[in-house]
Structure 1
Amino acid sequence: MAYVDDVANVKWLCWPKFDSSFVFGGLLDEEKGGKFAIVPETEDFTTQQYYVPNTNILCTEFHQENGDSFKVTDFAPRFTQADRYYKPLMLIRKIEPMHGVCRIKVECEPMAEYGKVQPEKSQGSNHIRYIGYEQPMRLTTNIPLSYIMDESYFVLSGAVYLVMTYGTPLEASLKTTVETFYQKTKGYWRQWVKSTSIGTFAQEKVIRSALILKIHQFEDTGAIIASGSTSLPEHPGSGRNWDYRYCWMRDTYYTLNAFNNIGHFEEMEGYFRYIENVASRETERHLQPLYSITAEKKLTEIELDLSGYQGNNKPVRIGNDAYTHIQNDVYGQVFVSLLPFYNDKRFSNPHRQYTKENLQKLLYKISETMEQPDAGLWEFRNKAQLHCYTFLFHWAGACSAEKIADYFQDDKFRAEAIKLKKEAIEKIEACKDPETGVYMQAVGSKDMDASCLQLITMGYLDPRSEEARIHLEGMEKELKAENGLFYRYKHEDDFGTPSSTFLICGYWYIEALACVGRVDEAIDYFNQIAKYANHLGLLSEDVDERDGSQWGNFPQTYSHVGLINAAYRIAKKLDLPNFLGKSS
């Protein structure tokens, strides 16, 4: 997954996996990050950037002041071949003139070991080898190699091609291969979109979010990363710079909801497979909040000697110390995520790794942690509390366990689930402030938390009730910003007081509005939040309410999942049809 800026420079690309070192990392250090840029000779130009409709193929057009223009098309090949997906570690760049004659140069300087090593370049007959990686990396092109080696300008008189490969190099015909791969990749993405179940509400935005969610899945294991980037700050100089290239257990419920809402069974099943594998081997100890995409447990946090985003946002971190945290909501989230395996008839595979014995151990973990303070959803590093959000998922997990008991026809299992459900309800009610009627962040706390919006969206509170109305209005008064944006919380934490809103919270708010029947407001705020996407429709993690700027890791799958689920909730309230069809 490559990050290409609006002047066609590859600013971020990690190979061979999402959590590997960057090959191009200018996003975090202009000098040590390397570059892969297409540069016009004149400085008098503007650019226009867009996706080929219903694909993840990116186009960047350069329009020079004299009227001459050219286009760069970037894509990673992906299509079915011999009954399998063909998705090599390959970045293809096609540069073609649109009008007149342009002079350009190609700058290609990959890096290794997070900028510590600049690989040696070796020129072949029609390619450049970059030596210093675990596997061969090669740039194959029909541009004269001297122009690339010397970074000199040349006349773009016709289409030229650049194919960067990691591992197996391209040995076939360059032009024919690229043009064939382009057509097949475009066809793949458009067919994938056609097999998506999407209502008529905000359809274009949902399609883009679905496409973004798709390319954040590591299909070898089924894991879905929170973001492909690391250390993009939640706010300038905040120090809240985290590595999000991992799979969070807390995200399972929301992500699986999103896949289910758009009718994508294959991706949903792959994610199930990952969660099932992680959870089935952790029955004797606590579940971590996150794991690597290959289910590795240890994600040691390290600070790198890089300048940081925009040259001044340190520290730059890889790894994430949150893997050591205690977040007890994960048990309920896994239970909710596994429920379809037992009550959804589309899952016909009887060979489940997650046995009844493992489910009983998971239920025991809910019981065992009912009185245990934890770091909570927001991963507070120096504060443990009895969080309302944790108890909400204890409740949801127990509800799921009660339904799974029907599959096993196990009365003892069901009785334990019902008992834990009642205990979780008592704990949630202990978070309710008797003066305001609003559910607070934790037992004994006076701080509000946007995650408590989900007491409504998950059905703990009847959305038609006076209780839900009072709770929602109280949270609006405290945490709502402009245009539907929402703060996670406003109290001081380990890094000070939050200065930016958290985008997923805005979508939770929109869902809650739709649930309580304030649908017109939900639609209005949905459209308002859409303005905080970038020119390609991509969403960040955080938004500064003062100027609308994007912050945090990007693009953020959590935010796109929020958009999908909010749009689905609104569409259901409007009773709009799904007319693109459902996947089989």
Structure 2
Amino acid sequence: MKKKTHNKYDMGVIGNCAFMAYVDTKASIRWLCWPRFDSSFIFGDLLDDEKGGEFSVKPTAKIKDTNQYYVENTNILVTEIYTEDGDFKVTDFAPRFEQDDRYYKPLMMVRKIEPLQGTPSIKVVCNPVGNYGEMIPQKSQGSNHIRYEGFDQQMRLTTNIPLSYVMEENSFVLGGAVYMVLTYGAPLEAAIENTAEQFYTRTKRYWRNWVKSTSISFFHQEKLIRSSLILKIHQYEDTGAIIASGTTSLPEYHKSTRNWDYRYCWMRDTYYTLNAFNNIGHFEEVEAYFKYIENVTKQEEDRYQPLYTITAQKEITEIEMPLKGYLENKPVRIGNDAYTHIQNDVYGQVLTSLLPLYADKRFTNKYRMHTKKLVEHTLQKIADTMEEKDAGLWEFRDRPGHYCYTFLFHWAGASAAYKMAQYFEDVKMADKALKIKERAAEMIEKCYDEETGVYMQAAGAKDMDASCLQLITMNYLDPNSERARRHLLGMEKELMATDGLFYRYKHVDDFGAPETTFLICAYWYIEALACVGRIKEAIDYFEKVSSYANHVGLLSEDVDSKDGSQWGNFPQTYSHVGLMNAAYRISKKLDLPNFL
């Protein structure tokens, strides 16, 4: 029997839509990749405490307690550390604000350290690494900065801390506020204190204005705001891509070997992510994502892949790295072989994602100009792949099948294409879309099990799959029907764990039987409850499931229902999108007002 390992991700995340950094409750940077989300880490002791480098602020006295929180309605993180000699706090942020009609979002991390009481003594260590720990840069001292040589671009730590203390890693008494600005590429040449304070003020103002411009109901507003802010910084603004997570190889369960690199953009997430941004009234992010999807799909004459890089590149070769791994979980994988898989729900994902361009009058004609050919091509791909086995939503590596979820997105994609055909006034396309929709419905019905009253994972299978909850939430099944009621009851009986947590499935796959629940599935269940009118239960489970967030409100991919442990890559956009969409569904049922 496996030894139980209770796990909680004691980290907050900062970012500016160009990079993210993970800061733990002792003010150490556990993970930071530069210059892109999918680049090598420069600080990565999350995966290896020897090869991962270090960027820490450590007191010389014993730590009595810590407290970590976000500055209200921002992605600025504060870590307070209380010691026997005195207390201090570290404020971390990635600058982001409007400047010259553009967003200023440099590869720059700002750290402000200031005493709270007493005379705390601290030691600052800054030792970045390259090439996943294989390259140790040479350090040299400038007039008010330290250079780290060996990277593709110059890296500097500019600070008003005496440089010798940092170079020699000596402790010093913190008599007042000090600043550290780590840069990749263009260095900071301006005055340190004034610039850092100005950047802090402008970054705080930017995030608060962003939050004020969202349309969020009063239902668990604080959770929605945090999820929205976290989702926002997972968008690589340069291309519009939204990554699944900023980490790689955080295991789905201890010693499970289910360790994957999630620093890429999955087509399977498209519909849900765009829904989430639409629901909070944020179109800037939606428009950027549309452009990314257009760039992905226009290069594909044949198949769409399940995932692409943040620059819409196709090849994401998966390799294993000689690193210890998180809690010694191996292998550590860079890249993701799932890009080679056949996953046919992607076509419906693209079509349902394009529909708001035509259905929502807030989008103008310029976004519709080039998409008819794309719609026609993608609709044809649904027709071409209708009878084909694929890897399914969960990317099974050795279990091809006729999956219900794939057929559901064939049905939804064809429905969307029909509505777009009406916009184009294309009778031929509309007729074709209706025929494909009817065929998809026939395939979905092949997954129905008369004995249990449940739609199974695949045609001819006897295994249940939480993705089939979407038959209700996407209106394939009438939420008021007896068939929807029976289907939901059967899914609950088989796949629900404690507190509304849900397993994706329980059957053995190519890595054994799953041991943790999948958070997005719990939120799908909550949405389904709201759809069928079980509102009180939906609210109750929403509160219970959301309580599995960490101390600053961040959700992982997986949760162990037995002890509440967080597992999987973190934070997981899928989970936060699930929270946002479930909250929206409940608030609509409660008829709670949104405000702008």
Same fold (TM over 0.5): yes
Write the mapping of 1:74-223 to structure 2, written as runs, cut at 5 A. Answer: 74-223=92-241
Write the mapping of 1:168-567 to structure 2, written as runs, cut at 5 A. Answer: 168-282=186-300, 284-310=301-327, 312-350=328-366, 352=368, 354-567=370-583
CA contact (8 A) 2:505 2:514 kept: yes
Give yes or no for the alignment of 1:571 onto 2:590. no
- Cα shift at 1:45: 2.4
Give yes or no for the alignment of 1:47 onto 2:66. yes
Residue equivalent to 2:3? none
- For residues 376 and 351 of structure 1, the distance between their equivalents in structure 2, rounded to whole angstroms, comes to 31
CA offsets 1:501-560 (integer angstroms, 9 cap, x no match): 000000000000000000000000001012110000000000000100000000000000
Counterpart residue type for residue 21 of structure 1:
S
- For residues 297 and 494 of structure 1, the distance between their equivalents in structure 2, rounded to whole angstroms, comes to 25
Find the partner of 2:75 among 56, 62, 65. Answer: 56
Residue equivalent to 1:70? 88
- Cα shift at 1:65: 3.2
| 1:350 partner SS | helix
Residue equivalent to 2:15? none
CA contact (8 A) 2:357 2:367 kept: no
| 2:210 partner SS | helix
CA offsets 1:444-485 (integer angstroms, 9 cap, x no match): 000000000000000000000100000000000000000000
- For residues 357 and 18 of structure 1, the distance between their equivalents in structure 2, rounded to whole angstroms, comes to 32
- For residues 477 and 38 of structure 2, the distance between their equivalents in structure 1, rounded to whole angstroms, comes to 39
- Cα shift at 1:82: 1.1
CA contact (8 A) 1:388 1:443 kept: yes
CA contact (8 A) 2:526 2:542 kept: yes
| 2:90 partner SS | strand
| TM-score using structure 2 length | 0.96
| 1:138 partner SS | strand
Report the aligned-residue RMSD.
0.8
- For residues 153 and 567 of structure 1, the distance between their equivalents in structure 2, rounded to whole angstroms, comes to 48
Residue equivalent to 1:12? 31
CA offsets 1:275-320 (integer angstroms, 9 cap, x no match): 11111221x210000000000000000100000002x100000100
Segment drifting more, 37-46 vs 323-332 = 37-46
Counterpart residue type for residue 559 of structure 2:
V
CA contact (8 A) 2:268 2:345 kept: yes
CA contact (8 A) 2:358 2:368 kept: no
Aligned residues: 577
Counterpart residue type for residue 297 of structure 1:
K
CA contact (8 A) 2:94 2:105 kept: yes
CA contact (8 A) 2:251 2:259 kept: yes
| 1:98 partner SS | strand
CA offsets 1:354-407 (integer angstroms, 9 cap, x no match): 432332121110000000000000000011000000000000000001000011
Structure 2 stretches of 5 or more lacking a match? 1-19
| 1:118 partner SS | coil
- Cα shift at 1:43: 1.8
CA contact (8 A) 1:277 1:353 kept: no
| 1:390 partner SS | helix
- For residues 63 and 358 of structure 2, the distance between their equivalents in structure 1, rounded to whole angstroms, comes to 61
Find the partner of 2:50 among 5, 8, 31. Answer: 31
- For residues 556 and 372 of structure 2, the distance between their equivalents in structure 1, rounded to whole angstroms, comes to 39
CA contact (8 A) 1:483 1:528 kept: yes
Residue equivalent to 2:9? none
- For residues 161 and 351 of structure 1, the distance between their equivalents in structure 2, rounded to whole angstroms, comes to 44
CA contact (8 A) 2:63 2:81 kept: no
Structure 1 stretches of 5 or more lacking a match? none
Cα 1:353/1:148, change in 2 over 3 Å = farther
Segment drifting more, 339-348 vs 475-484 = 339-348
Cα 1:434/1:351, change in 2 over 3 Å = closer
| 1:358 partner SS | helix
| 2:448 partner SS | coil
| 2:157 partner SS | strand
- For residues 175 and 413 of structure 1, the distance between their equivalents in structure 2, rounded to whole angstroms, comes to 62
- For residues 177 and 378 of structure 2, the distance between their equivalents in structure 1, rounded to whole angstroms, comes to 58
Counterpart residue type for residue 37 of structure 2:
F
Counterpart residue type for residue 293 of structure 1:
I
| 1:157 partner SS | coil
| 1:206 partner SS | helix
CA contact (8 A) 2:62 2:84 kept: no
- For residues 358 and 402 of structure 1, the distance between their equivalents in structure 2, rounded to whole angstroms, comes to 14
CA contact (8 A) 1:276 1:338 kept: no
| TM-score using structure 1 length | 0.98
Cα 1:89/1:536, change in 2 over 3 Å = same
CA contact (8 A) 1:280 1:353 kept: no
CA contact (8 A) 1:228 1:245 kept: yes
- For residues 359 and 131 of structure 1, the distance between their equivalents in structure 2, rounded to whole angstroms, comes to 49
- For residues 32 and 259 of structure 1, the distance between their equivalents in structure 2, rounded to whole angstroms, comes to 38
